[in-house]
Amino acid sequence: MMPISTPADRMLSFCQELIRIPSPTGEEGPLADRIVTEMEELGYDEIRRDEAGNVIGTIRATDPACPSIMFTAHMDQVSAGDLSRWDYDPFGGESADGWIHGRGASDTKGAIATQVHLPTTIAGHNLRHGDLHVAQVVVEEVAGLGSRVLLDRLHPDYAFMGEGTGNGLSNGNRGRTLVRMRFPGESVHASVARREQVALYRAAAFLLQLADLPMEQGVMGSSHAVPTRGATNLLDDNVTPQAFELSIDWRSIPGETPNEILERLASIMSDGDEARIPPFDLTTYTGRSYQLEYAQPPYWIDPDHPFVVTAQRALSAHWKRDVPVQPWTFTTDCGIFTERGIPILGFSPCEARFAHTPMDRVSIDLMVEAWEAYPALVKAVSTLPRTSA
């Protein structure tokens, strides 16, 4: 644990503690408890947990006429995987060579630490602002459940997402839809099987057409569809399967809906082939059960949007350097915010290049830099008009 002598040191030490608390999807409870304790010690005006287990801390408005602003990130993390591939203990939260190392450091515990410590960095600035919400959500890694539940109860005027941007700004990402395909066949001995009885031939014909299927084009380029996992229920190698099942990972661009994706696939399917977006059940650490679909919406906010321009100018002026605005290559919860009419931008000291890897780490310098920039962001965004009733 690094020595604590300043508010910035305490924020960094808190990040180390977060990494030392494993928080697999659906098991974020201990991490949520620690975040609540930190918020209590930092003097938030209101702290609550919703039914899904999201933690929301609120700093009340100094001027209710100003827009409300949310800073949000996710508590769940992916598995550490093969421990032999790590140079540092994935749950050690070690500080070395200017980095804090460990699973979740850049996805997104580095961002959580800076966001939760919002009260300490805005203290003494006498800012005019609306309600400031710091919301740490559950189950982001699986279809964005936490953000969906969060926004059923809370509708900020503007929001910042803590997925990795390396202190740049991100304004878009493709959505992700998981489609399950089923290609029928007949179960017969392989020695006498005819081509029309073999489900894998049907799947192969479909896949050749999928590879050449024109993709939709838009502001983020094209959508993207890739077959991933295939399986049968066979135990023997000399029998043809009654069906072959295939998963397709479809990355959608803004304006492309799940129904449109199914229609595009139907155009290259044969009679009897099936395509569906499967529902699944999920239980959060609070014991609440939900049914979801594997369909996360795409996200886009125009670089000329007043929110984007205001945030970019504020950070550029604060740091006296250019701040890039560019889309993410991966899917985030931002599309859930835009579906609810909430302008949102990615801003975080975390870096996407380290997420989900054995090199997972977050830069101490970028964390302090982001934390110190929050007052400039709050001040600038508080001049914008409210977007919600």
Would you write out the chain's pLDDT as a tens digit for each of its 389 residues?
Answer: 555 679 999 999 999 999 999 999 999 999 999 999 999 999 999 999 999 999 999 999 999 999 999 999 999 999 999 999 999 999 999 999 999 999 999 999 999 999 999 999 999 999 999 999 999 999 998 889 999 999 999 999 999 999 999 999 999 999 999 999 999 999 999 999 999 999 999 999 999 999 999 999 988 889 999 999 999 987 788 999 999 999 999 999 999 999 999 999 999 999 999 999 999 999 999 999 999 998 999 999 999 999 999 999 999 999 999 999 999 999 999 999 999 999 999 999 999 999 999 999 999 999 999 999 999 999 999 999 999 75
Provide CATH code, domain 7-173+298-381: 3.40.630.10
The domain segmentation of the chain, as residue ranges, is 7-173+298-381, 175-283
Note if the pTM is more than 0.85.
yes
Residue 86: which of 356, 367, 365 has the closest Cα? 356
Q: Is the distance from CB of 154 to CB of 55 less than 8 angstroms?
A: no
Q: Is the distance from CB of 174 to CB of 331 less than 8 angstroms?
A: yes
Q: Quick one: tokens of 209?
A: 């057409």
CATH classification (class only), 175-283: alpha beta
Q: Is the distance from CB of 197 to CB of 232 less than 8 angstroms?
A: no
What is the C-alpha to C-alpha distance for residues 139 and 224, in angstroms, rounded to an integer?
A: 24
